[in-house]
Amino acid sequence: MIISVASGKGGTGKTTVAVNLALSLSNVQLLDCDVEEPNAHLFLKPKIEEEEPVYIKVPRIDKDRCDYCGECATFCQFNALFVVRADAEKDIEGNVLLFPELCHGCGGCSLICPRSAITEEDREIGVVKRAKTLDAHLDLLFGELQIGEPMPVPVIKAVKSKLDTRKTVIIDCPPGTSCPVIHAVYGSDYCILVTEPTPFGLHDLKRMVEVLKELKIPCGVIINRAGVGDEKVYEYCSEERIEVLLEIPYTRRIAELYSQGIPFVERIEGWELAFLEMVRKIKGAE
């Protein structure tokens, strides 16, 4: 079963839930798809066993073939190409400039170039790391997008390509509701939405629920920092018939463990069982 853990906004405790949930289960694989800021490994302190670079294809211009017609630049919707047209009278040499960080690697320019002047080459944008917790209980895969790179999706796809369906797979999704989240959550059997009982929490929860409706992925809610804020998240869940799976209270003890990078299931009795029962309930509802 594939269970994704998502939230409409950052800072709700999504990774805390993903890590504590994964530690409560056996035969489990945790995929950290929050590739712009992966931090599950900070809590798990695993041994990295393997690293695999992630590339996208970017164009390479053969200047001997190119006549600077400009068709590639016109075609590119991401303004990743700029063609300087040659002008002998003004003594301007032709050139094709590529802005690699804007290129989405769609391959279109190489297909439409009338002079077959464009080939493709690899550009590294990130890495996928495979790791195991020291007791070998948990397989962790996480992606890291290189600093300054704007496209997390290829790295997310590379992490998800390692998915092992023989295990219970937990996917820690990026925050928000845009493309990276859709790619991370896509294909899940169930999505746990982590929120907090505040107006911001409710606003972003609603957006994520709409996304999951479109994707036809069933969902339930974990309310983190329960006890702060108001009742509106509970009222919304009840109106929408979304199950509140668990509440994690706003306590000093949990906050302290978090600040020390210690998953609270390892130190506070009863939580492992609570996560286990929650998964049983989710599996039973399938």
33 interacts with ligand SF4 by CB under 6 A: no
Alpha carbon distance 11, 85 (integer Å): 49
Q: How far is residue 228 CA from its own chain's centroid?
A: 28
Kindly give, in sequence order, each residue whose CB lies less than 8 Å from that of residue 180, ignoring residues fewer than 6 positions away: 33, 35, 36, 152, 153, 156, 173, 174
**Interface with ligand SF4, residue 83, by CB under 6 A:** yes
Which CB, 86 or 127, lies closer to ligand SF4?
86
- Is residue 108 a contact point for ligand SF4 (CB under 6 A)? yes
3-class DSSP assignment, residue 44: helix
Token couple for 144:
């890291």
**Under the criterion CB under 6 A, does residue 151 sit at the interface with ligand SF4?**
no
Helix axes of 232-239 and 199-215: crossing angle, nearest 10 degrees = 20
Q: How far apart (Å, rounded) are the C-alpha atoms in residues 209 and 62?
A: 48
Q: Does 76 bind ligand SF4 (CB under 6 A)?
A: yes
Contacting ligand SF4 (CB under 6 A), which of 2, 61, 191, 233? 61
Q: How many residues form the binding site for ligand SF4 (CB under 6 A)? A: 27
**Residue from 52, 70, 187, 232 that binds ligand SF4 (CB under 6 A)?**
70
Strand-pairing partners, residue 126, are 54, 145
153 binds ligand SF4 (CB under 6 A): no
Q: Which of 81, 125, 184, 221 binds ligand SF4 (CB under 6 A)?
A: 81
Check binding of 71 to ligand SF4 (CB under 6 A). Answer: yes
Scanning 30-38, 69-77, 181-189, 270-278 for contacts with ligand SF4 by CB under 6 A, the matching segment is 69-77
Element (H, E) at 29: strand 28-32
- Which one of 106-114, 148-156, 231-239, 245-253 is the stretch in contact with ligand SF4 (CB under 6 A)? 106-114
How many angstroms separate the CA atoms of 8 and 151, rounded? Answer: 19
Q: Which residues bind ligand SF4 (CB under 6 A)?
A: 59, 61, 66-72, 75-76, 78, 80-81, 83, 96, 103-109, 113, 115, 117-118
